[in-house]
Structures are given as structure tokens and as C-alpha cells.
Amino acid sequence: MTVSIQKTAEFLEQVHQLESRLGLKNEACRSRFLVHPNSTSKVCLFLHGFTAAPYQFEPIGKAFFNKGYNVLVPLQPGHGLAGDWNSQTPPPLPTDIQTYQQFVLEWLQIAQTLGEQVVVGGLSTGGTLAAWLALEHPQVIERALLFTPFLGSSNSLFDQLIKILPIYFEWFNKDAPGNFGYKGFLIPALRIFLELAQEILEQAQKKVAAPILMVCSESDRAVNRTQQRELFKMLLKHQPKSWYYCFDDSLHIEHRMMTKLEDNDYEELVITLARAFVNSDLTWVQFQQMATRIAQGETYEQIKRELHLDSQASQQLSAMMTQHLGCDRLKCINPSEA
């Protein structure tokens, strides 16, 4: 283990020790650090969703680690802490977006000590932060994976309430399987992400971002998918190596799409798509052309060679471009589809 890796490994151990002293809600909330003895060609920095914790990136984190990447999934500020949290004593989530921005910038620096190229990814508000990083530091970010980023809720009225109400909100699915995070929050803690989303949408019109993968789902009733499509189209104008994929409604992949524990029986498809994007240098046009060839019956062997995927992943990606998985006439990669 090199001196640089050793120092980072010691720091990561200190993070775990601090989490133990603070007291975590449960072990699922502990930061996940999967680090090889040496620096790797790529390192992944994953950002979990709002009120959730690093458990959301355990499956994809292990998948990338097993393919030779170093992986960091840090617990975000104010998240995952033990306590009797409720409307009278709400969880201590930040209400200042600078707290999150400083946090991700610090972890970006840590990630750079573990790999030559940094891949950043995030779910929901973690995807919002990943998008911000991709726009602010495209020279440092090799790829950005935006898993249904929060750019606004599916209900515009709710967005208006987020802007003005100071109340405590309890998740409708607070007792759903796989929910190891907080069951509720003060609205101002979410408001700052709505404000950051507006900033991102404005910046995307004029800035060159790192290549981004936008992943969404028709079954996602939590966020504004129109905004996701619009962001992708704006980013694509300046960054041709960006991809878009939207899962069909028939798969029932909801907002918490990263694990089987949280709504998604097809977590391996999310992982396959992410791996294909990270391993590839295809532009959006080339990716569309490849999808067309798959839809026309081309075997997955050529896809395997072009995207540097193993046979199983190549077969999965090929299936994702067919009617079998709801991608009829390639609507899954059409950001103009409603």
C-alpha cells in the first residue's frame, strides 16, 4: 500500500470511528468505503439520497469494486444519526446548501487520492449534488451518474409548498422495506435542493459539464421527469458524450431505484447501464446508433467488444433496448418522450 493510499485509509478509519462516537441510527447508515491496496484507474464517489444513507449504494458499489475500482460512499451531514426524531425533535439535516457543497468538494479531493479518474454518482438529491459537481468541476470529474436526480417534485403545488412552509413532513412510505434512514424532515431541509436544482438548470444552459448519464423511470412518481429530460437536453448541447435512459413503467422501478430492498427488482440493470457508460467513450449519437443495431437484431458480442463488458452485462444491456424490457421502438432512450 502506497503512502498516499495509507494516509487515506487511515482517514477513512477515523471517519468510521467518528460515526461510532456520534451514534448511528443503524449499521445500514454507516459510510461504505471499498478500497484496494493500490490506487485504481477510476474511483467512484457515490452520494445517497435525502434522509437516506450509504446503504443505497451497496450493490452498485460492490459491483464497481469487484471490477477493480475504489469506491467511496460517505454518510452526508446530519444524516443517519441515532435519536428519537419526530415533529417535535426533527432530524438535524442541514438547511444551508453550502454545507453539502463543501462536503462533496472535500470528498472529491479524497477520491482523487485513490484513483486516476473520478466517477461521481448520486440518487435523488445525491444526483442533484452530482450534477452540480459535474458542472462546477468538469475538468476533475471523468463521468457523472445521475440516478433520477431531484430537480423538482412531480407535483408543482408541492414545490410551491416547499418554498414557503416551515413544517415537518413525514414520508408516506416511511415504513417501506429497506428504509433505514429518517422517516421525516423539516421542509426547509429539502427546500435548499429545490433552489440548487434551479441553479443547475440555469448553469446547464451555458456551461460544459462532465459527461453525464441520466437515468430515470416512468414509475417514479416522486420527481419531475420533465425537468430531468430538459436538463439532459441542455447538457447534451455542450457535452456530446452524455447518455439518457428511462425505464419503462412496466418494470415498476420507483424513485428508490438503487437496490432490491428499495423498490427495484431490476437493480442489476441500473448497474449494467452505469458500467457501460463508465467504460465507454461513445457519444450520445453513437450510443443511439448502437441501440438501433441492437433493436434490429445484432448480436450482443459486438456490443460486448465496443463497451468492454462481460457477456452477462452485454446481454442485459442488449435486452434493455428491446420491447422485452419495455423499450418499444427505443422510447427508453428518447428524452423527447413524455
Domains of the chain from N-terminus onward: 3-281 (3.40.50.1820)
Give CA–CA dist 34/309, Å, rounded.
Answer: 21
More confidently predicted of 164 and 191: 191
Other CB atoms within a 10 A radius of the CB of residue 334 amount to 14
Strands 115-123 and 40-47: parallel
Give the pLDDT score at 337. 67
Give the pLDDT score at 295. 83
Other CB atoms within a 10 A radius of the CB of residue 25 amount to 18
Determine the 3-state secondary structure of 153 from DSSP: strand
Model confidence pLDDT, tens digit, residues 256-287: 999 999 879 999 999 999 999 999 999 999 99
Reading the block at residue 121, the C-alpha cell is: 454518482
- Answer whether residue 338 shows pLDDT above 70: no
- Answer whether residue 206 shows pLDDT above 90: yes
In the chain, pLDDT over 70 holds for what percent of residues? 97
Give the pLDDT score at 315. 84
Give CA–CA dist 126/276, Å, rounded.
Answer: 21
Give the pLDDT score at 3. 61
Give CA–CA dist 6/21, Å, rounded.
Answer: 23
- Answer whether residue 192 shows pLDDT above 60: yes
Which of 199-203, 312-316, 332-336 is the least confident region? 312-316
Are the beta carbons of 152 and 223 closer than 8 angstroms?
yes
pLDDT band at 225 (very low <50, low <70, confident <90, very high): very high
- Reported as type and span, the H/E element at residue 130 is helix 125-136
- Cα 207 to its chain centre, rounded Å, is 21
Are the beta carbons of 12 and 71 closer than 8 angstroms?
no
Give the pLDDT score at 234. 98
pLDDT band at 299 (very low <50, low <70, confident <90, very high): low
- Work out the angle at residue 152's Cα, subtended by the Cα atoms of residues 151 and 158, and round it to the nearest 5 degrees: 170
Give the pLDDT score at 80. 97
Give CA–CA dist 279/143, Å, rounded.
Answer: 10
